[in-house]
Amino acid sequence: MDSVADIGGATGWGQVSPPPPQDQDPPFHDAWEGRAFALTLLAMGRVSGQNLDAFRYALSRLDSKSYFDDGYYGRWLNASELMLVESGIIAPGAVDARARKNAGESVEEPGEPEPSKPDYSATAAGSLRQVEEAPRFAVGDTVTTLTDVESDANKLPLYVRGRTGVVEAVQPAHVFPETHARFLGEKAQHVYSVRFTSTELYGADAEKFDLTIEIFDDYLQEKA
């Protein structure tokens, strides 16, 4: 994906603390988190049906502060705002202006923008689709991922690019996030759970383990 969201395998992150007891770890730690969660679900519907890929694409285009510093539901809020602004549903700066006004500042609020909602809807509910052609690869096949992908909406994380693994399962076909996220079409295709060794991913000194990740057909090189 090559974006602020693509952090798999990145170094420089600190320790992970032991999780608190489940009954002390509610889904929302502050009331606003629940509001941001629910607003996002509804805002997504306002923009273009429940296009989750468009939402994830919006998340991946946030600046680092808006992605990390506001926390998980803050990131949802910021991605919702981005989608709503791009669709002409709210004006750029409208949220900040209202928040400052609510805090007692004297601020002029922007008017309603010209709607520019994408003329797009999914062909069916959900993300799974039927694909007529047979999968290119079968369980047990050795496959290699692409080393480069062009679209900034891609779903091939950096840490698995140009790596060779084995197909562990052929999963149901999905809409292709790269095009669906940008309202360019579903391009439904086969998806494989591909299993990699840690040494293939990180080199001979890596901690020993295996990893599976779902790889879209478009991201696999031709058979050798």
Partner 1 sequence: MSTALNPDEHLDGSGNRIGPALRTEALEQLLTERGLVDPNVMDKFIATYETAVGPLNGAKVVAKAWTDPEYKARLLAEGTAAIKELGFAGPQGEHIVVVENTDSVHNVVVCTLCSCYPWPVLGLPPAWYKDPAYRARVVREPRKVLSEMGCEVGDDVEIIVRDSSAEVRWLVLPQQPAGTEGLSEEELIPLITRDALVGVAHISAP
Please identify, using beta-carbon distances, which residue of 34 and 224 lies nearer to partner 1.
34
Please identify, using beta-carbon distances, which residue of 4 and 141 lies nearer to partner 1.
4
Neighbouring residues of 45: CB distance < 8 A, sequence distance ≥ 6: none
Does the footprint of partner 1 cover residue 174 (CB under 8 A)?
yes
Q: Which residues pair with 15 in a beta bridge?
A: none
Does the footprint of partner 1 cover residue 37 (CB under 8 A)?
yes
Assess contact for 188 and 179: CB atoms under 8 A. Answer: no
DSSP reduced 3-state for 166: strand
CA-CA distance, 111 to 88, in Å (whole number)? 11
Q: Which of 116, 121, 124, 214 binds partner 1 (CB under 8 A)?
A: 214
Task: Compute the least distance from the CB of residue 84 to partner 1, in Å.
Answer: 8
CA-CA distance, 54 to 222, in Å (whole number)? 28
Q: Using CB under 8 A, which residues numbered 51 to 110 contact partner 1?
A: 56, 59-66, 68-74, 77-78, 80-82, 84-86, 89-90, 93-100, 102-103, 105, 107
Does the footprint of partner 1 cover residue 152 (CB under 8 A)?
yes
Q: Please choose, out of 130-138, 139-147, 171-179, the segment that lies near partner 1 by the rule CB under 8 A.
A: 171-179
Count of residues engaged in binding partner 1, rule: CB under 8 A: 102
32: left (phi over 0), alpha (psi -120 to 50) or beta: alpha
Does the footprint of partner 1 cover residue 190 (CB under 8 A)?
no
Please identify, using beta-carbon distances, which residue of 10 and 224 lies nearer to partner 1.
10
CA-CA distance, 181 to 122, in Å (whole number)? 11
Residue type for position 8: G
